[in-house]
Amino acid sequence: MPEDLTYKSAGVDINEGERFVRLISPMVKETFRKEVLTGLGQFGALFELAPGKYKRPVLISGTDGVGTKLKIAFMCDRHDTIGIDLVAMCVNDILTSGAEPLFFLDYLATGRLMAEKASEIVSGIVRGCKESGCSLIGGETAEMPGFYREDEYDLSGFAVGVAEREMVVDGSTVSHDDLIVGISSSGLHSNGYSLVRKIFFDLKALRPDTFIEEFGRTLGEELLEPTRIYVKAFNLLKAYNRRRYTRKSPKGAP
């Protein structure tokens, strides 16, 4: 065995990984709710459900990734918003069951860890967690030389929320006289980007820096528009619905 054979010579820079943790720690801690019981760096993250807050709490979880929208981030060399997409794709999913997002974990895999770029990615995850009111309580960063190209990475995430058992949305109470509330999207979100790239970059031969008059910005900027997080809108509707059905009936009314 060569004496100079180290993790770094094999493509894994432990010191860069430690520097990355130091860079992200302050902003990650800004997402912590009071229910978080652990700091960063432990093998398991602890989150306590507030005693007495729920009668029959149901945990609702979901996992997702960003998909090939990542390719647009690579092409534009912009990495500060893609983390918002990651959080959005997970919390929006559990929101459909009526969950209040509680905490989030991320997985970042790359061919070569570059602390500044990875910190940009996490800054987007932090923004998404703040927007949805959940804590970024853990994650994993994997440096995998030879598996990914040095300038590329992959992202996935996992969200856990809670709902009262009687308030879980499962479609069973849908009726013909219900109101449907439509909320506009922010664009394509993180869906269908394999087809999008085929159309714009292969068939139309456009570039990410091509200015599109209808958009008022470049194609890359339009395609990187972060996925909208619907937690606040959902909470407003839920609060309205609760007020509507918990008003006291007039005296003598059934």
Residue 142: half-sphere exposure toward Cβ, Cα within 13 Å: 13
CATH number of 14-38+53-168+179-246: 3.30.1330.10
Contact in structure between 125 and 136 (CB atoms under 8 Å): yes
Regions of the chain with pLDDT less than 70: 1-3, 241-254
**Which whole-number Å values give the CA distances from 156 to 95, 121, 166, in the listed order?**
18, 12, 31
- Per-residue model confidence (pLDDT) at position 254: 37
3-state SS assignment for residue 45: coil
Name the pTM for this structure.
Answer: 0.89
pLDDT of 39 reads 77
Continuous segment of H or E residues that includes residue 121? helix 115-132
Neighbour tally for 152: CB within 10 Å? 14
Residue 6: what pLDDT? 73
What pLDDT is stored for residue 198 in this prediction? 95
Tens-digit pLDDT profile for residues 107-122: 999 999 999 999 999 9
Q: pLDDT tens-digit profile of 71-127?
A: 999 999 999 999 999 999 999 999 999 999 999 999 999 999 999 999 999 999 999
Q: In degrees to the nearest 10, what's the CA dihedral of 165, 98, 128, 51?
A: -20
Q: How far apart are CA 124 and CA 159, in angstroms?
A: 15
- Answer whether 129's CB lies under 8 Å from 136's CB: yes
